[in-house]
């Protein structure tokens, strides 16, 4: 019961699988213009977002000259624009971004920058809050590290992702079945990413959130009400496809390499499943209680997404 209450209490903090914003910085000598696009559902609990958001991204050495923020209801975004000025023209820019501290812990911010026809970009999250824009083509090593790191963050950046993997472990009735379920789950994710670009459907982030909530709840139902059900591997594949929508949206937004991101994601998820499987051995007798807590978490989270 205590675990159930802890999971439910954590819902507001973990309630976003898809938590991402983007920004564009245009630099001209000693001046720069920055445009932030933040999903409206990310700022529902942020007090004074017109002030707070821009306080959590800093271009070191620059002072803000003016700024303006407003909601764009049609696009579901909150937009902030700001002008900055340095004492002298710059060739590189150090940036600090901590949006995760005012939105949700697994929030990712993608910053694109342009100066004199040269482009650079940086990605910020809980683990990487500082970056340097050098306005030169990144090396192959830098690309690999950045994109692989993004894959790991996507896989394990939020408590919700970890809870789903925990539900997958609880749903496995043997080590062999866990290997099959894990393989089908990963295959479902990859298949979704490969197929979606060839369709005309563009899922909304809110739909992806709600679908992910139901995947946690459905696995919990399988454990509680259908303990002897067959073909659970097919269910794992289908649920993996729903989770793949998140990766599709991320890759579509960033333009990152799907093979690189998904390889890192698969490795991170496989590692997490291995650790969770070891822990599950110690709590297997509490499976039904844990499944009940996961069911409650999934349903509450689904309700929040419908209301949000």
What pLDDT is stored for residue 18 in this prediction?
A: 59
- The backbone torsions φ and ψ at residue 60, rounded to the nearest 5 degrees and listed phi first, read -55, 130
Closest by Cα among 182, 49, 148 to 103: 49
Neighbouring CB atoms inside 10 A of 226's CB total 12
Confidence (pLDDT) at 14: 46
Confidence at residue 13, expressed as pLDDT on a 0 to 100 scale = 44
Q: Which pLDDT score is estimated for 159?
A: 67
Query: Which pLDDT score is estimated for 46?
Result: 86
Helix, strand, coil percent values for the chain (each to nearest 5):
55, 20, 20
CB 97 within 8 A of CB 22: no
pLDDT at 220 over 80: yes
Instruction: Note the pLDDT of residue 131.
Output: 93
The band of 5, judged by pLDDT with boundaries at 50, 70 and 90, is: very low
Report pLDDT for 273.
Answer: 94
Nearest Cα neighbor of 58 from 155, 130, 115, 136 is: 130
Per-residue confidence at 179, pLDDT binned at 50, 70, 90?
very high
Q: How confident is the model at residue 265 (pLDDT cuts 50, 70, 90)?
A: very high
Distance, CA of 160 to chain centre: 10
The separation between CA 94 and the C-alpha centre of its own chain, rounded to angstroms, equals 24
Mean predicted lDDT score pLDDT of the chain? 85
Q: What is the pTM of this model?
A: 0.75
Question: What does the pLDDT look like over 7-59, one tens digit per residue?
Answer: 334 444 444 555 789 999 999 999 999 999 998 878 877 889 999 999 999 99
* Beta carbons within 10 angstroms of residue 240's beta carbon: 25
Structural domain spans, the chain? 2-14+158-307, 20-150
* pLDDT at site 307: 66
DSSP string, 148-195: HHHHHHHHHSSHHHHHHHHHHHHH-SSHHHHHHHHHHHHHHHHHHHHH
Nearest to 186 by CA among 291, 267, 276: 267
Q: Strands across the sheet with 31-39, in order?
A: 63-72, 77-85, 31-39, 20-28, 108-115, 118-124
């Amino acid at each position: 019961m205590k675990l159930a209450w802890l999971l439910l209490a954590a819902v507001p903090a973990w309630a976003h699988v898809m938590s991402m914003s983007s920004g564009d910085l245009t630099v001209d000598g000693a001046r720069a213009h920055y445009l932030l696009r933040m999903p409206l559902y990310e700022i529902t609990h942020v007090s004074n977002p017109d002030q707070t958001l821009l306080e959590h991204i800093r271009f070191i050495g620059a002072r803000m000259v003016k700024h303006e923020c407003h909601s764009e209801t049609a696009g579901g975004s909150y937009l902030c624009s700001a002008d900055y000025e340095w004492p002298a023209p710059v060739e590189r820019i150090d940036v600090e971004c901590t949006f995760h501290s005012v939105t949700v812990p697994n929030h990712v911010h993608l910053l694109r920058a342009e100066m004199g026809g040269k482009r650079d970009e940086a990605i910020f999250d809980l683990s990487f809050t500082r970056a340097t824009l050098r306005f030169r083509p990144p090396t192959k090593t830098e690309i690999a590290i950045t994109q692989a790191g993004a894959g790991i963050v996507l896989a394990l950046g939020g408590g919700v992702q970890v809870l789903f993997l925990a539900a997958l472990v609880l749903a496995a009735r043997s080590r062999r079945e866990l290997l099959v379920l894990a393989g089908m789950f990963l295959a479902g994710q990859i298949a979704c990413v490969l197929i979606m670009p060839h369709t005309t459907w563009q899922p909304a982030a809110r739909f992806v959130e709600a679908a992910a909530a139901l995947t946690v709840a459905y696995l919990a139902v399988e454990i509680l009400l259908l303990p002897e059900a067959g073909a659970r591997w097919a269910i794992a594949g289908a649920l993996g496809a729903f989770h793949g929508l998140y990766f599709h949206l991320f890759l579509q937004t960033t333009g990152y390499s799907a093979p690189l991101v998904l390889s890192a994601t698969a490795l991170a998820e496989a590692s997490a499943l291995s650790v969770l499987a070891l822990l599950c051995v110690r709590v297997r007798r509490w499976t039904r209680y844990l499944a009940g807590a996961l069911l409650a978490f999934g349903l509450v989270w689904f309700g929040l997404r419908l209301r949000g």
